[in-house]
């Protein structure tokens, strides 16, 4: 919902000649609940969401059991939920939530994180994280039920 980010995305899409893109400047949960049909998403990407790093704010993190179960029917069978964060504590939280989520399977051969896929763009948040000495964690879970 960061309007300058929406504008930058639209400009980048225009420059790249991308025409099959939809942007919603609205709450993601409401968009998923009300505007996205079930079994219509091949891959949902959630890159560098707000980590709400203070313990008392962890309940505000988007990756929570209720969100994951609301998302599950929107993914096609075998569809992927790809997350990335530069906050280790949030990565651990995501891994815990997703590992316990019904109907999902971790695609990591080690049951934790996957190497950064080539198709994931290098974001300004990731570059900043590298500059600050933060790691970056990617998680990819597949809908199996």
Q: Which domains does the chain have, with CATH numbers?
A: 1-25 (no CATH), 36-143 (3.40.50.150)
**Which of 26-35, 76-85, 132-141 is modeled with the greatest confidence?**
76-85
Note if 50 is an active site residue: yes
**40-49 pLDDT, tens digit each:** 999 999 998 9
pLDDT of residue 121: 87
Tokens representing residue 73 in the block? 């029917």
pLDDT averaged over the chain? 93
pLDDT of residue 22: 85
**90-99 pLDDT, tens digit each:** 999 999 999 9
pLDDT of residue 130: 83
pTM of the model: 0.90
| pLDDT beyond 90 at 6 | no
Residue with tokens 């980010």: 5
Identify the DSSP state of 119: T
Residue 93 CA to its chain's centroid (Å): 13
Sequence-separated (6 or more) residues with CB below 8 Å from residue 81: 43, 44, 46, 68, 71, 75, 98, 104, 140, 141, 142, 143
Q: Which of 38, 50, 86, 112 is catalytic?
A: 50
* 46: enclosing H helix or E strand: strand 41-47
What percent of the chain has pLDDT above 90? Answer: 75
Q: What is the mean pLDDT of residues 57-80?
A: 97
| pLDDT beyond 80 at 139 | yes
């Amino acid at each position: 919902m960061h309007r300058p980010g929406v504008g930058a995305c639209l400009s980048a899409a225009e420059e790249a000649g991308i025409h099959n893109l939809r942007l919603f400047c609205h709450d993601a949960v409401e968009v998923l609940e009300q505007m996205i049909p079930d079994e219509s998403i091949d891959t949902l990407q959630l890159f560098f969401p707000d980590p709400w790093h203070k313990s008392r704010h962890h309940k505000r993190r988007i990756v929570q059991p209720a969100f994951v179960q609301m998302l599950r029917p929107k993914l096609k069978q075998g569809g992927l939920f790809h997350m990335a964060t530069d906050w280790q504590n949030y990565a651990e939280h995501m891994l815990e939530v997703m590992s316990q989520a019904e109907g999902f399977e971790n695609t990591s051969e080690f049951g934790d994180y996957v190497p950064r896929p080539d198709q994931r763009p290098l974001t300004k948040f990731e570059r900043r994280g590298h500059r600050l000495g933060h790691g970056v964690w990617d998680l990819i879970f597949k809908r199996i039920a």
